[in-house]
Copies of this chain bind each other. A is one copy, B any other.
Amino acid sequence: MTTTTQGFATIQQRDLVNQIADMLTEALLKGEFSPGVHLSEAQLARDFGVSRAPVREAARLLESRGMLVSQPRRGFFVRTFNADELDDVYDLRLCLERHAVRLLAGKLTAEMEAALSHQLETMRQVARDGTAVQQIEEDVAFHRMLCEFSGNQRLVRVFDELCHEMRFCILLIGQLYDDAMRVADTHEPILEALRTRSPDAGEAALDYHIGVAQQRVVEMFRERTQG
């Protein structure tokens, strides 16, 4: 017990770029910037009390995540979504998860099943006493597990990108989850299909589950933005 550094977590040297990116992301998800609005590098730099360089890089990072768009010599603007684009995102997400479930059905281990069951329980818990944001996050976490357990890491990366965009739109809508418990329960058939190693049943359960969400969210988004 002399000079061992055992037990110390490596302090993460979070540079300004990531900090700014996180703060910007949070602000965007909280809806503090209207879609399409111009974001001035100089203004943001002043607000954050830093120079423009890290702000630029953070903005570029958010651009690559599809939350901002840039025009040469004009700067960065908050990404605007229309309902069709959101529909595309859901469509693609379903495509990915169907594939993940197909893969997963053939290789589900006991650990994976336990993790998914546990996550389902967490979802039910936050459905009782959790915020809407928590409910969304735990929901996403379940679906992310499906992707992770599929074994295709590249698929997970795309899923994460899509989730960023879905979160962005969902938070733009405002309230959601009128009945979080019912939503949580509709994940059960997916897990059940996996337990029986049935890819077809898994796909069907997913089709239903995500299809419902897609219809609701896109519809609400369309009303909220068009009307």
Contact = CB atoms under 8 A, between A and B. Distances in A.
A95 interface: yes
B155 A85 contact: no
| Contact-size category for A | 20 to 34
Copies assembled: 2
Contacts of A53: 53
Contacts of A13: 72-73
Interface string A66-83: 000000110000000000
A153 interface: yes
Nearest to A88: B154
A95 B155 contact: yes
Contact of A95 (B64, B99, B162): B99
Contacts of A158: 92, 158
A61 interface: yes
A179 interface: no
A152 B88 contact: yes
Interface in A88-112: 88-89, 91-92, 95-96, 99
A47 interface: no
